[in-house]
Structure 1
């Protein structure tokens, strides 16, 4: 499951639109509630979902932000977030990453 698909699944579970996602992310990242800027950000997020060139890190960033939201915490979901520590060998890291991917794919079904 791609980062985009994972985010869309979470949005569906929350009952949120992409517009709601954009508003929540904007409010989290900004101190002001400038309605014009919020509308611009909504358009930006909508276009990111439409483009095939949007980097997966963007969707992962949005998912990380909403995973701290009180509504998300009520869903009893877990967002995988691997942090490399350079303590494991490359082959072990690759193997664990593959296992995690397979588990994520299986749980996403």
Structure 2
């Protein structure tokens, strides 16, 4: 088991190559994209296999945003947000027709 950040800095020529390099590992907890071009940021955020992709920052987020790892990262659930609550509860409906 690997615990801790895994950081790489690699040169690439195209967005597709950058996405392929980022996805060529068994982990996917979080990724960080550093660019000033919105089109590159959105393409990389869509293509990188990670539970969180931050643009121009590292590990940003909000309690309202679901957070969970992909691949061999995380525990298979979701932290933060209402989605986290849902994984620890079960929904049940009860319908009672009451006639006085």
- TM-score, normalised by the number of residues in structure 2: 0.25
More strand by share: 2
- Asked which structure has the greater RCO (Cα within 8 Å, sep 6+), the reply is 1
Higher Rg of the two aligned structures:
2
- TM-score, normalised by the number of residues in structure 1: 0.24
